[in-house]
Amino acid sequence: MRILIIQFSGTGNTRRIAEVLRQEFEDNGAESRIIPMEHITLGKITPDYAGWDIVGIGFPVHAMDAPAIVYDFIGTLPKSATRYFLFKTAGSTTFNAGSTYNIRHKLALLGWKLIHEQLYEMPPNAFGTANPKKVNKRYFKARALAIKTAAEILGGVNSRLADPMIRNLLYRFAALEKHGAQQSSKRWIVSSACTLCGICVENCPTENIHIEEGKLLFDDKCLLCLRCWWNCPARAISHTFLKPFFLKEPYILPNDNDISEETNG
């Protein structure tokens, strides 16, 4: 069994779940590989989907939907009868963190067959609080679910998330957020603490950040994934009006072998 996992992750939650799934697949005799979604949307990689038995697609929930990059990625996919599973991470499970109807629909039009779908409640990377105890508790619960999910996928168990009744309303909210992300793209600000190290430039999934004449400039392709803000070693990045919704500072997910600390309370 060969399982390819394609994931987008702004701040590491989705990537960590992808890593747990990959490890579980491998520990149970399957071959598995993870590809960051932006490597595909930026044209760095074109996977040979026919060479894989199952493809997993993972992303963080943004405004009860997927970030725009997920739709861009689906636009790159070939028509085929590929079996796929979906996984999404969110800061809350309210309304199943939105609907994947539009994603499933687009993939169905390409002939792709959904075999499994799972939502993982992870620490919120914005719009909330993330003290270390909550971060650890959420992570280890999600990790246990990912281990179960991997067994289900390998065992051929089908599963699908129910669509919230207010799906259309949620999609309208999501459209507003996508518009807002683009509109606010140039509202990132950089303080004098910036060392021009280039980390944010190299890692932005839409190549939205450039250095010109010793200054950091943002284009209009922001996904609000927060990766630049999260990973800046100088804590030099801020946002003119979204700052109040950000966490005080980025959290660090626990190592898998820290579980004894978590269970001990």
Ligand X SMILES: Cc1cc2nc3c(=O)[nH]c(=O)nc-3n(C[C@H](O)[C@H](O)[C@H](O)COP(=O)(O)O)c2cc1C
Instruction: Name the minimum Å distance from CB 65 to ligand X.
Output: 8
Side-by-side strand order, sheet with 31-36: 31-36, 2-7, 54-60, 83-90, 113-121
208 binds ligand SF4 (CB under 6 A): yes
240's CB contacts (< 8 A; 6+ apart) are 184, 187, 188, 189
The sign of the dihedral angle between the CA atoms of 99, 124, 187, 236 is negative
Instruction: Name the minimum Å distance from CB 88 to ligand X.
Output: 8
22 binds ligand SF4 (CB under 6 A): no
Residues 146-205 within binding reach of ligand SF4 (CB under 6 A): 190, 194-200, 204-205
Binding residues for ligand SF4, total number by CB under 6 A = 27
223 binds ligand SF4 (CB under 6 A): yes
- Which one of 25-33, 48-56, 216-224, 257-265 is the stretch in contact with ligand SF4 (CB under 6 A)? 216-224
The binder of 196, among ligand X, ligand SF4, none, by C-beta within 5 to 8 A per type, is ligand SF4
Instruction: Name the minimum Å distance from CB 216 to ligand SF4.
Output: 6
The binder of 144, among ligand SF4, ligand X, none, by C-beta within 5 to 8 A per type, is none
